[in-house]
Amino acid sequence: MVAHSKGYRTRTRKLLTKSVRERGAVPPLSSLMYEYKEGEYVTIKINPSIHKGMPHRRYHGRVGIIMGKRGKAYEVKVTLGDKEKVIIVRPEHLEPFNGVKR
């Protein structure tokens, strides 16, 4: 019997796929050039066509707080259960949070 693969992108067949009309589309430059400020809330939305600076799938859809900048990427603080984690994410995988955070 073959052991189950436990790679970085396992069980992401549906999560990390684009719709047919989105495939091959380059992300808009305005989303890449947006400057996030410290303390700002962001949503982690993974863009599967860009592999560099991609966070783990467990953070997809989570809301985090910008802690600082590291090179072109941002340090984002995310709560995961009762733990707080700081992950490094490039702006291609971030978008400003529009909801109400309490």
- Report pLDDT digits (tens) over 49-65: 999 999 999 999 999 99
Cβ within 8 Å of residue 92, ≥6 positions away: 27, 31, 32, 47, 50, 53
Residue 100 has pLDDT above 80, yes or no: no
Number of helices followed by number of strands (H, E) in the chain:
1, 5
Q: Are 61 and 45 in contact (CB under 8 A)?
A: yes
Q: Find the DSSP H helices in the chain.
A: 29-33
pLDDT of residue 28: 85
pTM, rounded to two decimals: 0.88
Pick the CATH number of 37-96 from 2.60.40.420, 2.40.110.10, 3.20.20.60, 2.30.30.70: 2.30.30.70
- How many Cα atoms sit within 13 Å of 17 on the Cβ side? 7
Dig out the tokens for 36 from the structure. Answer: 């996030």
